[in-house]
Structure 1
Amino acid sequence: PFFLFSDMLLYTSKGVTGTNQFKIHGHLPLHGMLVEESENEWSVPHCFTIYSAQKTIVVAASTRLEMGKWMEDLNMAIEMPVKCLLPSPPSGSSDEVSLEQESEEDIHSSRSSLDRQSHHRANTTMHVCWYRNTSVSMTDHSVAVENQLSGYLLRKFKNSNGWQKLWVVFTNFCLFFYKTHQDDYPLASLPLLGYTVSTPVEADGIQKDYVFKLQFKSHVYFFRAENIILIWCAYYTHLGSGKEGH
């Protein structure tokens, strides 16, 4: 993974130990850096070259959109003067959490609220980006901060029959599920990076009104709102979830 700060670019790898930390392999100062698209030179899709005073590296993104996000943010950071001291680079979480074991197991868990709080600490943006091989740009972060929503929804898993009423909070690229609006800690969380939002199709067998569908690969969730206004809110706020998204 790459982490872009206002004065440097870090490149790291995912730790394989129980600490679940990112290991820093090197850093490139932004002062004097030059970024150029280099697909034609290397015959590699979505690749670009980063020239710095220390070294030159060639990197490739998963999509052209992702490449554009990185190049735009890098060029903006290069041109932006550093006006303040930076905090230390992120070290990651000490908890190992499988992001694909979301929600259902947690809903029926008998752990204490404090245990649940600790369980969800690893669902940070950088961990989700790692597991789902995606990026979040500065624009994605800005839009996400502007779009936050909370309220009661009925939730149904892909292969379940019943609907469960939950207090749902959408913030920072993630849905948090509570039994009621008075609870201090969530029962479960669902990071939305990589998910798509749509209305159910006939094959889904959903015979209810005001339902929207969230899907990432084989993970499918259905949510029922009270009225059509909340449906439009769900679609609008999902634009801030970085779904295409460092």
Structure 2
Amino acid sequence: MILPPVRLLRARPPRKQETTIMAGKPKLHYYNGRGRMEAIRWLLAAAGVEFEEIFLESAEDLDKLRNDGRLMFQQVPMVEIDGMELVQTRAILNYIASKHNLYGKDLKERALIDMYVEGMADLNEIIIMLLTYPPAEQVNQLALLKEKTTNRYFPAFEKVLKSHGQDYLVGNRLSRADIHLVELIYNLEEFDPSLTASFPLLKALKTRISNLPNVKKFLQPGSQRKPHEDMKTMDKAREIFRF
């Protein structure tokens, strides 16, 4: 019996070990204060994302970012994330929220989240601008802030929570709307702790979100959360942004 010739199989070279490229931590470019970056810090922290901060110390630091072509619209905040250099606060927040499942489950939920967040942004704009006014005008701005808080914005969000009786603003699960609202509550209570006195559901939401492990960690002393803006911080911001 004649056996067929034996085919010699050439051994394949071993496969190169695949390496996973790990994305680095997001890098936040801004001055060492709250301003328009603080909401980004809150959202990243709530999502459990560690981040680095590169502080602008002078107007020249800002000029360098501009001259290097790193700021699409010549302004900060700017966040390096996933190979991008993102500017425009809302675009940055939208990306982070989408990436970390904090932006609702469908278009309707996203529309509600956007609507609520835009309302918060209107109120937050008054806070941001408050210390840019001369001291004599700050009294009037603070009165306006309190009036809009207690007569327009807080009643609206209290009504939302009451209407569905759920733990969160949208879809009964954590979203960026809850995180931004709790940040706003903390900021407003720094001006007047009594502002939430008539809004039990908002107070309960604040407690609920504050006890989430990632948020609780961010609220501890020594975290990357920035303190209440004061005149020294604002003077530094004026120096950097030349306003």
- Assess same fold via TM > 0.5: no
Q: Shorter-chain-normalised TM-score: which range?
A: under 0.3
Structure with the greater alpha carbon radius of gyration: 2
More strand by share: 1
**Larger helix percent:** 2
Higher relative contact order (CA 8 A, sep 6+): 2
